[in-house]
Every structure is written in C-alpha cells, then in structure tokens.
Structure 1
C-alpha cells in the first residue's frame, strides 16, 4: 500500500513561550501568558489537513479511483482541479512544524542554568525531555492507526491488500521507509521527514542549549549544506539534509525568531531565503506542462501563491496579527489533526466506496460524510488513546513515574 508524498506531518504542542519577546525592547512581540495556546496555528493546521484530505479524495487518481468507481475528475468535474493543489498543505505544515518545534525546544533561561547540574547533564536532561515529548505525541495514535488499517484491509469485503505481517510489525517502528518495507499508511513518508528534522534539531540545538546565535547558525548551515546536497546529487546527503523539505522547516524556525523579536533583520533574512528556495521546490516538484493525459494541471502561479499564503499566515501569527483568533474549539481542532492525518487516507478509501458505490450517495455528500467520519474517528483516538497514553509514555521516558 503505497501513496504519493502528499500528507501532513504530526503537530507539536502550540503553546506560547514565556521567553517570547526577548530582544530589543522596541521590536519585540508581546508575549502571551505562559502555557497559553497559539490557537490560530491550530486553525491553520486544520486548514492544511483539510487541503490534504481534499487532495486525497478528489485531487488525484490511484486507489481513490477504485473507491469512486472511476476517476475523481468525473465525480468533481471542476473542483478536482482545485483539489489537486491540496497537496501543498504539506509545505504549510512543515513551516508550522519548524515554528513549534523551535518554540518547544527553546528551554527557558531559568531551566538552562540550574546550579545543581553541569552543562553536560543539563544538555542530556533537555534532550531526554525533548525525545519524551516527541515520542509520547507521535506514537500512541500511530500505533493504533497501524493496527486499525491493517485489520480493516484484511477484512474480506475490503478490496485493498494489507501488507505482510512482517512488514506491518516493522511499520510500528516508523522506520519502514528507509528500510524499504511496504507502508501500512501512505502518509508515513512525512513522519520520516519529521523524524530527521527532530534529530537534526535535537543534536544541534536542544543538546547544547538553544540561543539565538546557535539557532541562526543552524539555519544558515542547514540551508547551505542542503543546497550543496542538491547540487552533489549524493543520496546520503539527500537522506540526512532533505534539501526538498529543509526550506520549510528552516522558514518556520526563522518565523519563530521573528516571533521573539519582530525587528530581527537576520531572522527575516532566514525567512526570505527559505521562502525563495521553498517556492522553487514546490514548483519544480508539482508543476508540469499542460498535458491532456495528466489528471490535472497545476499553475505555477497558483503554486507560488499557496506557498506564499502559508508563509504569510504563519508570519501573521508570529507577529500577533491574529491574536483575536482565539476560539476554544480551535484547540480541539489542533488536537484532532494528527490522528485525522494518520487515518483519513486509507480508511477514507473504504468510506468513499461504501457510501458512494455501496449506498449510492452523491459525490459531494460522500466527500463531506467521509471527512466527518474521519474527524469522528480522530476524536475517538484523541479521547480514548492519546489522552491517557501520551502522559503515561512521557512520564515513563522522563523517569517521573
């Protein structure tokens, strides 16, 4: 069961950093109260998730055509051309990920300078906490999604083939892609990109301790070495440095620096360079010359426009321009995005087939009900899996219980 690279990575916790706003007094962004959520980012995450779902259900051919009983272009004669742009939700989400991972990995000064710990011990403690936070956030719903999709695909009425038992077990490690194992979830490729980003950030920033100089240097070195990797066409460098995805993570990190100090010209430079490179990769990977044999045609101008809107939206949040977007339901929306991301594609095929071909529902009704069903399943995963497993895993990994 493979799927094209077009899905969202998992969210980090989006809470305002109590140190946000340090820097020159005139250029700082007013800090939100400690622990308060940046709910506008939750809303943006939901929009990106729905973009990707639209792409999977109506913006491409493949297994979804079997679910519809024909190409989605026949089900959505006009909308399918717009649904095809939904894959760009991935780029937007990588920018968000860069922002929130830098925020969560930036340890407050009080924690960095505990006199009872030497520097090495503090670094190891921060690294352990960072690892525990990421593992406890990623694994619970992921494990359940792997089991759930494998079991559903093994049911006799379902026409999609499940992976082998051995491959399904390897999928539980999240290392199936580098090991060349069939994926249970087509979306897993983005998790592999996220894991590599976490590893780079943890080793270069979290372990030695985050500060502005170190973060700026990290962004600069990663940008340069990713460009070298692209030019060298060396698989190992591509694997480690991810030149195609690095600009979006780096752009999000730069926007977090802007969040800390809006007059930081170096941070704005990081954002600008990452945007310029990022739009290049988006166009290079997603644009093609008009061809009637292709499912749809994506305009390069629209591709650039969507990437631009993604950067602008995160920048507006970083600058506090969307602080009024603070509705409580957005917190729930943000919590549902990751489990929704995990289950929506493959189980969506089953839902579309059952509703459209089985019950004969119209295309748009099937589309809407499938989205609703996947959101309900995501809520169940969040409520009955993540709510108790996430803190349990975090406590065990940090040695607190």
Structure 2
C-alpha cells in the first residue's frame, strides 16, 4: 500500500493560518485582554483582529487531513499516528510554558504544578482544569474530533462518512438555533461545519462530486457563515467584549477558505515542494503551541533597554525567537520521540504493507524529497 498523497497546499495554508493567529494575539487580543500595553497602528490592529479565523482554517485542514490519514488503517494505527504527531511537542510546550511562567513570576498567567500535569493530557477541560495556555483550547477541540473519527473507524463507518457528516451538521443546525452546552462541549457542534467541510472536500478529491456531497458542502458553508456572523459580534475576555472584526470581513474570509479548498480539489490550486512549504509544515505546530503566553511574557519583560525598542521590532524578535525554539523542539523532540511513541502504541508487524496512518504521521515529521 502506498503512502498517503501529499497536499503541499495544505502545509502552506497551515503556515498562513498560524501566522494569522500569532498576529491576532500580539497585535489585537493581547491589548484587548490587558496583557500587552503597547499598541500598534489602528489599521493593523483591525486587520489582526481577523487573525482568529486562522483557527477556522486549521479545523478545515484537519477535517481533510484526518479523514485522509484514517483511510485503510486500524483504530490502533490511527491512534498511534495522532499520538506520535501531537504529544511530543505538546508535552515540551506545556512544561516550557510552566517554567517560563514560574520564572517570570507572572500573575496574569500563573499556573500550578497540578494544573501543568493535568494539561499534559491535552483535555484538562474534562476535569474542569484551566489550560496552561489559552491557545490550547483548539487542541482539545481537535482531540474530540479525533475521538469521533475513531468511533467511525471502530464501527466500520468511514465508507458512510457523508451520512454521519449529515447527522453532525443537523446537530450543529439545532445548536445554531438554540445553543446547548453539552452538544458544543462533547460533540464539537460549534465547529462541525468546518471539520465537515474538510472531510467532504477530501471525499471530493478522491471520489469526485455527487449530489450528496454538493448539498452537504452547501449546508456546511451556510452554517459556517452563520456561526461566523454570530461570532463576529465579539468574544468575551473576562467582563469585556473583544471585537473580532466586521461581519462582512469575517464572511469574506470564510468564503475565501471554501474557495481555496474548492480550487485545490479541482486541481486549479497546486503547489510543489519548496523550502517555504517545508518549514511552514514543520514549524507551524510548535510555533502555535509556544507563542501565546510565552510571547506575552517576553514582550512585557521589565528590562528598560528591551522596552525602549519599538513594539513592532520586539514582536518580530519574539516571533523569531519562538520560531528558533520551535525548530529545536522539532529537531530534538518531535523527530526522535514520534517514532518511539508510534512503535509503542502500535508496534509495526513484519510486512511489506505500510499502514496509511503511520505513513501519514511519518510524512508529517520527515522531509519528502528534502522539502515538505
């Protein structure tokens, strides 16, 4: 069996999504939440406010990639690929965030040793423990999506994935009319349209168009716009409402995401391996994990010469430092630990066949033709 095909466009889009989220935190949310006192130009802050939509793009990419990696594998193989991909960098990032917070004596981001330990599971919200870093909420959403894919695998339902996507979108539609916490917490219905879109676009890329996929994608698109419109009014940080962009701008960005996926599966958006794509693919995940709280603490470091620098220069230097640390995490932690964890969870049998999920995980960690 051949390894899963590589969509370099997705690595590039993932990198752009990560940069958007970093800009959102450093140029908008940090100021709104009171974690950063320095401000940027009004036009740049307004543009950065749209960076929260990078998470929406992440979820669409995840729906595509996770369904692809689940094809033809076992539950154990799928779990092994996800554990190997997600946990090495995550464990290091949680511990490093805790150490930086304790060392800096930060009150805004104070964490306890027990909180750090529970966060290592990636689902502290299951036991009502706060995240060590606010950016980790999306990983918990991702993990619960993986559990639903595991259920489909276990019951042999991947071939009927459109049917279950329809059920998920129905629950999401009910929630859109009357939000229900259990549905949003346990079944990710708030984010179901985005994951569903990614899954459906993958099915189109492999099986082509049919009426069912066409109608489900229209349904997911409509729900995506609905939730985007509602969310555009703002999000609460403490007792304050943080503006997340004009509804029309949010609608335009979300529509662009669907257009990009449509162009990709139709063959109109193609991308070859390149150094930029390689580094975007390799570093996006650790940068996402490390940038927020550590970045806030670094930007507000009480060193006179440092604070005398222009804020935008400090942001660039902090981002460069985070990228450098992320490279070390990838090189010294992710690469060696991923193979060990994958073998621990799902020992490879002596066979000429290659488990697609394991191949997918290997593709995510290693260069292909020296480029990713």
Report the TM-score range of the alignment, normalised by the length of the smaller protein. 0.7 to 0.9
Aligned-residue offset at 1:192: 1.2
Deviation for aligned residue 1:400: 3.4
Q: Is the 8 A contact 2:287 2:326 kept in 1?
A: yes
SS for the counterpart of 1:178 is helix
Aligned to 1:52: 21
Q: Name whichever of 390-399 and 224-233 sits farther off.
A: 224-233
Q: TM-score, normalised by structure 2?
A: 0.85
Is the 2:75–2:153 Cα contact (8 Å) retained in structure 1? no
* Structure 1 equivalent of residue 162 of structure 2: 216
Structure 2: gaps (5+ residues): 235-239, 350-372
Cα deviation code 1:332-376 (max 9, x no counterpart): 211211111100101111221249965122122122222221111
Identify if the C-alpha distance between structure 1 residues 61 and 388 changes in structure 2 by more than 3 Å, giving closer, same or farther: closer
Structure 1 Cα separation of the partners of residues 109 and 187 of structure 2:
34
Q: Does 1:141 align with 2:89?
A: yes
Query: 1:356, 1:366 within 8 Å by CA — same for their partners in 2?
Result: no
Any stretches of 5+ residues in structure 1 without a counterpart?
A: 1-16, 19-33, 108-124
Partner of 2:62: 97
Post-superposition CA distance 1:42-83 (Å, at most 9, x none): 00000000000000001124587444x34x3xx333210111
Match of 2:278 in 1: 331
Q: Pick from 315, 319, 328 the counterpart of residue 262 of structure 2.
A: 315
TM-score norm. by structure 1 comes to: 0.79
1:78 counterpart SS class: helix
More helix by share: 2
Secondary structure of the residue aligned to 2:130 is coil
Q: Does the 8 Å CA contact 1:92/1:311 hold for their aligned counterparts? A: no
CA apart distance, 1:87? 0.2
The answer as to 2:66 corresponding to 1:106 is no
Q: Which residue of 2 aligns with 1:8?
A: none
After superposition, residues 270-309 of structure 1 pair within 5 angstroms as 270-287=216-233, 296=243, 298-309=245-256
Two-structure CA RMSD over aligned residues (Å)? 2.5
C-alpha distance in 2 between matches for 1:236 and 1:65: 31
Structure 1 residue 184: Cα displacement: 0.8
Corresponding residue for residue 261 of structure 1 = 207
Match of residue 131 from structure 2: 183
**Residues 248/66 of structure 1: CA separation in 2 closer, same or farther (3 Å cut):** closer
- Contact 2:80 / 2:342 at 8 angstroms: preserved in 1? yes
Q: CA distance change for structure 1 residues 243 and 78 in 2, over 3 Å: closer, same or farther?
A: same
In 1, Cα distance between equivalents of 2:341 and 2:304: 42
**Contact 2:4 2:68 (8 Å CA) reproduced:** no
Counterpart for residue 12 of structure 2: 43
* Cα distance in 1 between the residues matched to 2:148 and 2:296: 35
Cα contact 2:190–2:227 (8 A) shared by 1: yes
Residue pairs, 1:223-234, within 5 angstroms: 223-231=169-177, 233-234=179-180
User: Contact conserved, 2:81 with 2:342, CA < 8 A, in 1?
Assistant: yes
* C-alpha distance after superposition, 1:297-330 (max 9, x if no partner): 6211110000111111122222222224432431
After TM superposition, give the deviation of residue 86 of structure 1 in Å: 0.4
Deviations 1:81-106 (A, max 9, x none): 11111001111111110001111111
Contact 2:50 2:244 in 1 (8 A): no
Mapped partners of 1:229, 1:185: distance in 2: 27
| In 1: Cα distance, 2:271 partner to 2:121 partner | 40
Distance 1:201 1:389, change over 3 A: same
Per the alignment, residue 342 of structure 1 pairs with: 289
